[in-house]
Amino acid sequence: MSTVKQWGRSSRLLSAAVATALVPLVVAGPVGFTSGENVRPGGGWSGLWLSADSTASSGTSLQDVRTIVGADVGAAANLTGAGVGVALIDTGVAGVPGVPAAQIVNGPDLSFESQSASLRYLDTYGHGTHMAGIIVGNDTATGAKGLAPKAKLTSLKLGTANGAVDVTQVIAAIDWVVAHRNDDPANRIRVLNLSYGSGGNPNFWSDPLSFAVQRAWKAGIVVVAAAGNDGNSSVRLANPASDLYTIGVAATSTKGTLSTADDELSTFSNLATSEKMPDLLAPGQSIASLRVPGSNIDNSYPGARVGATLFRGSGTSQAAAVTSAAVALLLQAKPTLTPDQVKDVLRQGTYMRIGIAAERGIREINVNAALGLTPTTLAQTFMLSDASGSLDSARGGSRVVTNGVALSGQNTIYGPFDTAAWSKASADGTSWRGGSWMGNRIAGDGWTGSSFASRTWADASWSGAPWGGSATSWVDPSWSGRSWSGRSWSAGTWTGRSWSSEDWATASWN
């Protein structure tokens, strides 16, 4: 019989004292963003694409990752993630040959590119497809297969070709996942992958983004979030990995070996010196996953290509995707586990032997070991957010901009945001009604037809004009002329977009 153990209650007074001493974290932003102080190119999608992080020209294969995390031995060897739904909130998924259409569902496209029929649902950046490859990919050309190849992946596209996204779009996407987690009874959504960090570090007890992820967690969804790529000296994890009701994942360098004895925390990973440290570690350096030919990162970092179909990337994005796949395997074997229990057994992974992670006691995931554990923790009792905080605190220096005007204040990209009304509706499960979120029509009303995926949520035209004025339409003329051939994007660069931001930190591709 499991022993009940509570994970403690955080003191608002203590946390407030700590928070006042913190240096604000600004997550790196994509090329073409508007500036915030100390912002590095890269974005809020928490990955990097740096040649210095590569251990070999071919990178670390997904088969090697499977071995390193103990997913190919013992009871874990026969697990595929079958029957488990994984929601991927990212930059969309492109229908490259290595993406198994039968395992992909397109949730609503909430990105600015949703207003362009030729770009809708599809990954113009290249980041989301890379994450999908780690989770469910099946590239017959190379044999690269995702760690949970039979999981059902629901893609919600938020980021554009330059990564632009506002935190309110992320909040709306999380709300949608919670509302629709049981749409497919055979593949209920149990895992949410957020390879994303907002630009700010708000107080967790009032942050609206924290409120959204906590609601997902309480609804039975394991929220896996990237810790961020600001380096080991960072004082906090990226938001929302900093929230206690997530699994915040940092990346390890595997040193090009299958042994975990030489693994250590990657130098680019956030390692909080205050408040919450990463919950666990997973391989995230030089991971070879699916490439999107002609995408932004493919054009920008041709040195990251591995043959014709794969691409090397490093970052806590990749580590988060590895962890989401591991969670799917665990839930296939033990479907009654709660998010708290999943977190508990995964934290009891492989001891690190060297480096700062070993000193801090942060372990690397081991799926087979987790299968043999009895969870001792049944309920976390940390303080919950009341969602009363400002959106700008979550945004920090990371803003979407159109016509030279940055989105700010209590506003979504669609208009004013009543935080109190939203938090009540979100808690009640009524923030989404069909394709409308908080009264704003941003998607269609249900499942209809299909694109390259097994099924797709309907699209909709956004009414009104962008907040920057002058424009009469959401459709960016610089998007015209782009087309997807079924294997690649048409030639040309992805620069010159009207939308810019500092969000969706990418991984290092080179």
Can you tell me the distance from the alpha carbon of 349 to that of 24, in angstroms, rounded to the nearest whole number? 31
More confident residue, 320 or 493: 320
* Predicted model pTM: 0.90
Does residue 505 have a pLDDT over 80? no
Catalytic residues: 90, 127, 317
For the chain, the average pLDDT equals 86
What distances in angstroms separate CA 195 from CA 28, 305, 326, 358, one per listed residue? 13, 21, 15, 24
pLDDT, tens digit, 9 for 90 and up, residues 444-487: 999 998 889 999 999 999 988 888 776 667 877 666 567 888 88
Contacts of 439 by beta carbon, 8 Å cutoff, 6+ apart:
none
Does residue 12 have a pLDDT over 50? no
pLDDT, tens digit, 9 for 90 and up, residues 240-292: 999 999 999 999 999 999 999 999 999 999 998 777 999 999 999 999 999 99
Please give the pLDDT value at position 451. Answer: 84
Q: For 47-79, b where at least 16 C-beta lie within 10 A, e where not — what string?
A: bbbbeebbbeeebbbbbbbbbbbbbbeeebeeb
Does residue 210 have a pLDDT over 70? yes
Does residue 16 have a pLDDT over 50? no
Type of residue found at 86: V
Angle at which helices 419-428 and 167-179 cross, to 10°: 20
Q: What percent of the chain stands above pLDDT 70?
A: 84
pLDDT, tens digit, 9 for 90 and up, residues 326-385: 999 999 999 999 999 999 999 999 988 999 999 999 999 999 999 999 987 678 889 999
Please give the pLDDT value at position 240. Answer: 95
pLDDT band at 33 (very low <50, low <70, confident <90, very high): very low
pLDDT, tens digit, 9 for 90 and up, residues 213-240: 999 999 999 999 999 999 999 989 999 9
